[in-house]
Structure formats: structure tokens, C-alpha cells
Amino acid sequence: MGQNNGGFSEAGLHRVRDVLARHVESGKIPGLVALVSRGDETHVEAIGTMRHDGGAPMRRDTIFRMASTSKPVAMAPVMALLDECRLRLDDPVEQWLPELADRQVLQRIDGPLEETVPARRPITVRDLLTSTFGLGIDLTAMGSPIMNAIFERGVFSQGAQPLPEPDEWMRRLGTLPLMRQPGEHWHYHLSHDVLGVLVARVTGRTFETFLRERILDPLGMKDTGFHVPADKIDRLPPSYAPNPQTGEFTVWDEAVGGQYSAPPAFQAGGGGLVSTVDDYHAYFRMLLNHGTHGTERILSRPAVELMTTNRLTPEQETARSALARNSVHVSFGQGQQGGWGFGMAVRTYRGDYAPLGQFGWDGGTGTTTYADPANQLTGILLTQVGLSIPDPARLIHDFWTTLYQAIDD
């Protein structure tokens, strides 16, 4: 069986490192930090440099823009409010978010914004939690009037422009018709930004304040937040979105003076967090431990079970799977897990090396983080190269393949 490292083979861990190093040596990935853990064993690899033209080396405490990998962590404060009965799953949200009252719904997804029917029912907390409230980023509807309007109104939090403050953002969102009836269809992304506003209005604090108090501080996630303070900015690499045609390294966001260098007007749960491998490890270990961290309970066991098991109906799951499989040219093969819980994918069919029940998500800035209850395993890989090219996605796929082949028991 070979030497055993808490269920990872020595040879398997060498292969993980070799495959990661090969991607860096190719010149396509300037640097990365990876963490793998199983049981009490944790291994970290920091390879390459902060900038594509050299400079400081990647370190274990390098801070990364998490992009959509923010979603699983940003979901936790909502679960804390459910635990305390300050929110209920089937409460209509309009008492806190009046901008989402009395919705109109497009007659067809690609039709004019004026051709609508009234929503059959109010939007509920559950609709936001499962990303089925009726609005989101739909890769199959790009170029349609509604997708154009989402980008033009400046409500997409991963775009080039910073978002306005929450009340103005909600006002803009409220000018849009829904794409589908509430509860009907899984749509990506926008629900997570709405949830941050919901938490702030329910608690009377900023989303980040409540997130920090209930989740980040108890877990010791000291490097996680919506911006990087000046005394840590040297730990943040630039974020690259390489030119899709030439592969040339184009800076999407610089560290000093960039969009993460000062507190944003809008704290975007859909994609606004910065973090480190160790902070994310603490969070995903808490989920694997059914909501506990050491002797402290962060979330109730049922709250974690709701987040980390599939919440979609068979019809919704079919639509989500078809979207993932048929947009590989955009997602480079990411997102093919089938299921979705609250704020994260949940694997409901086996299409690669990972077993059913694995949960987590990926980020457009070249981040991936999943936990696997069956193997008590966590993997986190953070890079500074965005998914404008397939290379970071290929790195992510190879990371998971090598991580799973390193299991030895």
C-alpha cells in the first residue's frame, strides 16, 4: 500500500505537486497556492510567483480574489438567521426587499422586456437560497434583451464597473422583469448578491459586519473580507484576464489602487470576497464537521445539511446539467456536478473522479474549493489567472484528478 499520510499516498502527493508545477512551468499560470486535507493531515503547495513577469513568490498566506467561490461562505450568515428564526424559508422577501414585490415575468426568455405576465406568487427566502427567484446570468440567453439589460443596468457584480450602494442596486434590480416565474428555474449568480442585501436589512448592520461576527471571527478567518487592508496589500497578486486570442497576460485588477484596495460600496456575496487557503480550509472543515469548529457551534447541523445537499427538483437539475454540458466553450467544463444546494454545487452524478455528495464551487478568477464527506477530504486551489482562457480550468481539473488519485486506503 505504500507509506500512508492520513489517507494520501506519498507517491500520490508527489504527483499532485508535479502536476501543479508543470502548469506553472508551462508559463500559462504564473503562480498558485493549493491546500489538500484529509482527516488531520493537511498539505500546502505554494508554487510560482505573484506576477506573470516574476517578482515575489507565492506564499501560503497569499490573498486571492475568490470570485464565485465567495458564494459558499457568503451563504452562511443567511443560515445563521434561519437558525435564529429571524428568517423563515417560505417567508415572502418583500417585507425586507420591497423592490422585489409585485413582479412581472417575461412571456419568453428572449422576448422584449415589455411583454410580461404577472408573477404567480411572491418571491420567498427559499427562492433566493436555491437561486430560483427568477433572475440570473443565463449563458443560453446571451444577447437577449433581458441579459443585455442586466449588464446595462450595472447589476452584475463580476463586471468591469463597481456596483452602486445596496439601495440603489436594489432599485435598479427592481426595474427588471423576472426571466421565469419564482421558484421555477435555476439561474446563476444574482440571488447571492440579493441575499447580502437581505442579511443587512434583517440585521440592521452591514452584510460584512454580520458575516464577520457570526462566521469569519469564530472560525479565525482573519484574512477574509470584501477588501484587502493597506497593511496586507503586498500579499495580494494582480488578477489577470489573459487575452482569449493571444493568451497575453492582461491585468484585470491591480492590487494597489485596484477594486479590492478599499471597502466597496456594495458587499457582493456572489463574488466579492478575498481570502486565503487556510481561511477557506477552516470554513469547509466546519461544514464537514456538521457546523462545529473545535468546541464551538457556528451553524446548526440541519442548516449545514440543507446547504450541502441537492435542493433542486429533477426538472431544475436537468436544466442546470444541460447548461453546464452545453456551454463547455464558456465554462471550459466546469459546473458539471448536476445538483445545487444553497450557495454551492452538490455532486448528484459521477462524471469524474469525485464521488456523489462532494460540495463546493469554482470562481472565474481561477479558484476552486470543494469538500467531500465520503472521503473527509477538502481541496482548495487558488490562482491569479481568470477563466478568459481554458488554462486555469485545465489546471483545476488536473488538481482534482491528482488529488483523488492520491487517496490511498
d(CA 121, CA 256): 46
d(CA 391, CA 244): 10
d(CA 21, CA 163): 37
Report phi then psi at 390, rounded to 5: -75, -15
| Per-residue model confidence (pLDDT) at position 324 | 85
Looking up cell 433572475, which residue turns up?
A: 135
β-pair type (104-106, 54-57) = unpaired
Pick from 101, 129, 103: nearest CA to 195: 129
Sign of the alpha-carbon dihedral angle for 353, 358, 363, 369: negative
- Mean pLDDT per block of 10 residues along the chain (409 residues) reads 65 97 98 96 97 95 98 98 98 98 97 98 98 92 94 85 94 98 96 98 98 98 98 98 95 96 97 98 98 97 98 92 85 89 96 95 97 97 96 97 94
* Buried b or exposed e, range 77-111, using 16+ CB within 10 angstroms: bbbbbbbeeebeeeebbeebbebbeebebbeeeee
d(CA 269, CA 173): 16
**H or E element at residue 34:** strand 31-38
Cα 117 from chain centroid (whole Å): 32
Report phi then psi at 306, rounded to 5: -65, -45
| Per-residue model confidence (pLDDT) at position 329 | 82
β-pair type (377-383, 31-38) = antiparallel
- Of the CA atoms within 13 Å of residue 102, those in its CB half-sphere come to 3
Pick from 409, 361, 352, 360: nearest CA to 387: 361
Distances (CA, A) of 14 to 4, 21, 43, 350, 402: 13, 10, 11, 26, 9
Looking up cell 422584449, which residue turns up?
A: 112
Q: Under a CB-based contact definition with an 8 Å cutoff, are residues 262 and 233 in contact?
A: no
The type of residue at 95 is Q
Question: What's the pTM?
Answer: 0.96
